[in-house]
């Protein structure tokens, strides 16, 4: 590459907002229904939304009630070659449609059933396409597996930073040390053990991490959410995410009346566990019936929100920074590049420096002042925390609403129309390059998974078949085997 070419690449990489990101966000904003184009909406103004893989490794070795995968999921073998092929195709399409940067989940059944080398290769593919990957797991794997993912055969770091989301709840069966838990508290040692692996990873190998704690909520464990929050707040998780159960996936696993658990009920439990109100109306991802979100700083056990919806100066700062800097990427950006981005943004809008400093001062003041913050930081009692509730919709709601949307029809029925609006506002998309679509996660699990998994069952059977006996239209893939295949599915 010529000197001028290198300079052009550097100039583009240090722009505060990449032009393709700006175009993707403008397109996303224009696609949002009018009722969610609110002042606090982040989709299309600050972020494009999250992405997730599908049809890559549906098999899992725990049994959950409910389970959002189809009944055939555990009849599909784990194949690293297939996974890498699909991740490559899906992420390339996402890059094409949604710009050069986004958060993406490596999600299917259980990610640790992938051979460690293939797991690492999938993360590398996602990064190459500008995605910030998060591996979705039940967390029941050993430290050696984590090392095999993060380090190469010579013990050198493959990644400087990794993100994992671990799902823990008492609705899961088959976990080592808690095969059939009777309470959420029984899982706290497993939660702590999982988080400790990443503390050890940073101490021993200098690899940083971002950890999310996920939990499905049904009537049976709703009263335990508050105690779970209290326990997890003492662990090094960066995010706590809760999902009210929905009637999606394998109907054999629908054991309770999920309608008894609302997003408001779960949020109230989260606030009880945090011991304080958790203001969330200053920002919104997608539809308020789907997502509730707040982020801030935890100082000496007390959470301070980054944006207070009742503080007029906070809201004014939000509006200014969203208008001028919405879409600037911080996570995963090398420090030299980020520094130049910030300088260029400040030169373009000099007044924003005072706005950002003023917002920082208000956060510090709410957290107890600079002296308390410094003392807590020296004692390692300061951390950034995010609380999320994400509410999926029932399959019987999604299927008719999606069918009408595919035909370009908005329903006259209020309930169906609300579902359509929620689908149009979805912050979590899955890539379908074969037919050129980005599909909401609720549609993937409610409408598309069943046929897709049946096809995978024929393509990747648990018992290998001769190529000549494969159904027409299915292509053979490279097989690598599974490092953990000996741990058979509990389902």
| End-to-end Cα spacing for the chain | 54
Q: What count of other Cβ atoms lies within 10 Å of the Cβ of residue 119?
A: 26
- CA distance linking residue 17 with residue 21, whole number of Å: 7
Cα angle, residue 245 at apex, residues 446 and 83 outer, rounded to 5° = 50
* pLDDT at residue number 484: 34
Contact present, 163 and 146 (Cβ < 8 Å): no
CA-angle at 88, arms to 83 and 90, nearest 5°: 95
Cα–Cα distance for residue pair 210/222, rounded to 1 Å: 26
How would you class 206 by CB atoms within 10 Å of its CB: exposed for 0-12, middle for 13-18, buried for 19 or more? exposed
Q: Find all residues with CB under 8 Å of 7, minimum gap 6, and list them.
A: none
Parallel, antiparallel or unpaired: strands 50-52 and 102-106: parallel
3-class SS of residue 280: coil
Could you tell me which CATH class the domain 25-309+386-460 is placed in?
alpha beta
Instruction: Tell me the per-residue pLDDT of 52-97, one tens digit each, with 9 for 90 and over.
Output: 999 999 999 999 988 888 889 999 999 999 999 999 999 999 999 9
255, 63 contact by CB (below 8 A)? no
Dihedral pair phi/psi, residue 264, rounded to 5°:
-65, -40
Q: Where are the domains of the chain?
A: 25-309+386-460
* 10-residue mean pLDDT series, the chain (491 residues): 85 92 95 97 95 96 89 94 98 96 96 98 97 97 98 96 98 95 98 98 97 97 98 97 92 84 97 97 97 96 96 98 91 86 95 97 96 93 96 95 97 97 97 96 95 95 60 39 33 35
Tell me whether the omega of the peptide bond preceding residue 66 falls within 30 degrees of 0, making it cis.
yes
Q: Cα dist. 65→252, 254, 446 in Å?
A: 8, 6, 16
Put residue 481 in one of left, alpha, beta given phi > 0 → left and psi -120 to 50 → alpha.
left
Please give the pLDDT value at position 485: 34
Strand positions, DSSP E, 123-273 = 131-137, 161-167, 172-173, 208-217, 239-244
Q: Could you tell me the maximum CA-CA distance found in the chain, to the nearest angstrom?
A: 72
pLDDT at 476: 37
DSSP 444: I
The whole-number pLDDT of residue 488 equals 31
What pLDDT, on a 0 to 100 scale, did the predictor assign at position 469? 46
Take residue 140 and report the two structure tokens written for it. 């029941």
Task: Specify the DSSP element, H or E, that contains 270.
Answer: helix 263-274
What pLDDT was estimated at residue 79? 97
Detail the DSSP E strand segments found in 278-427. 291-299, 302-305, 382-390
pLDDT tens for 432-481 read: 999 999 999 999 999 999 999 999 999 999 876 544 444 444 433 333 33
Beta bridge partners of 51: 104, 429
């Amino acid at each position: 590459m010529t000197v001028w070419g290198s300079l052009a690449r550097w100039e583009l990489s240090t722009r505060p907002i990449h032009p393709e990101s700006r175009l993707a966000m403008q397109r996303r904003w224009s696609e949002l229904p009018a009722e969610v184009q609110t002042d606090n909406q982040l989709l299309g103004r600050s972020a494009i939304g999250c992405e997730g893989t599908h049809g890559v490794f549906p098999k899992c070795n725990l049994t959950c009630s409910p389970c959002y995968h189809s009944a055939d999921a555990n009849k599909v073998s784990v194949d690293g070659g297939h996974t890498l092929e699909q991740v490559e195709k899906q992420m390339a399409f996402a890059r094409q449609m949604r710009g050069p940067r986004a958060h993406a989940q490596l999600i299917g059944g259980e990610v640790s059933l992938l051979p460690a080398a293939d797991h690492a290769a999938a993360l590398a593919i996602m990064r190459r396409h500008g995605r910030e990957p998060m591996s979705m797991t039940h967390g029941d794997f050993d430290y050696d597996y984590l090392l095999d993912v993060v380090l190469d055969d010579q013990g050198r770091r493959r990644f400087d930073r990794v993100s994992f989301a671990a799902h823990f709840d008492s609705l899961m069966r088959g976990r080592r040390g808690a095969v059939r838990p009777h309470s959420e508290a029984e899982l706290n040692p497993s939660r702590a053990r999982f988080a400790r692996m990443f503390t050890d990873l940073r101490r021993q190998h200098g690899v940083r991490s971002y950890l999310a704690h996920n939990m499905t909520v049904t009537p049976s464990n709703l009263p335990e959410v508050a105690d779970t929050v209290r326990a997890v707040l003492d662990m090094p998780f960066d995010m706590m995410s809760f999902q009210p159960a929905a009637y999606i996936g394998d109907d054999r696993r629908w054991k309770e009346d999920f309608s008894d658990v609302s997003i408001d009920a779960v949020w109230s439990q989260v606030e009880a566990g945090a011991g304080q109100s958790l203001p969330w109306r200053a920002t919104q991802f997608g539809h308020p019936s789907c997502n509730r979100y707040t982020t801030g700083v935890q100082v000496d056990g007390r959470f301070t929100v980054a944006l207070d919806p009742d503080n007029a100066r906070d809201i004014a700062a939000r509006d200014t920074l969203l208008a001028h800097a919405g879409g600037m990427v911080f996570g995963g950006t090398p420090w030299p590049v980020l520094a130049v981005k910030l300088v260029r943004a400040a030169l373009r809008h000099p007044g924003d420096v005072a706005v950002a400093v003023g917002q920082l001062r208000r956060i510090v003041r709410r957290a107890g002042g600079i002296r308390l913050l410094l003392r807590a930081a020296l004692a390692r009692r300061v951390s950034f925390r995010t609380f999320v509730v994400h509410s999926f919709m029932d399959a019987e709601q999604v299927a008719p609403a999606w069918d009408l949307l595919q035909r370009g029809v908005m329903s006259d029925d209020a309930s169906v129309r609300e579902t359509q609006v929620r689908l149009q506002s979805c912050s979590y998309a899955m890539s379908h390059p074969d037919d050129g679509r980005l599909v909401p996660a609720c549609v993937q699990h409610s409408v598309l998974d069943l046929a897709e998994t049946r096809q995978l069952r024929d393509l990747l059977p648990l018992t290998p078949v001769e190529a000549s006996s494969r159904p027409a239209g299915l292509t053979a893939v490279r097989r690598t085997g599974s490092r953990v295949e000996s741990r058979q599915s509990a389902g």
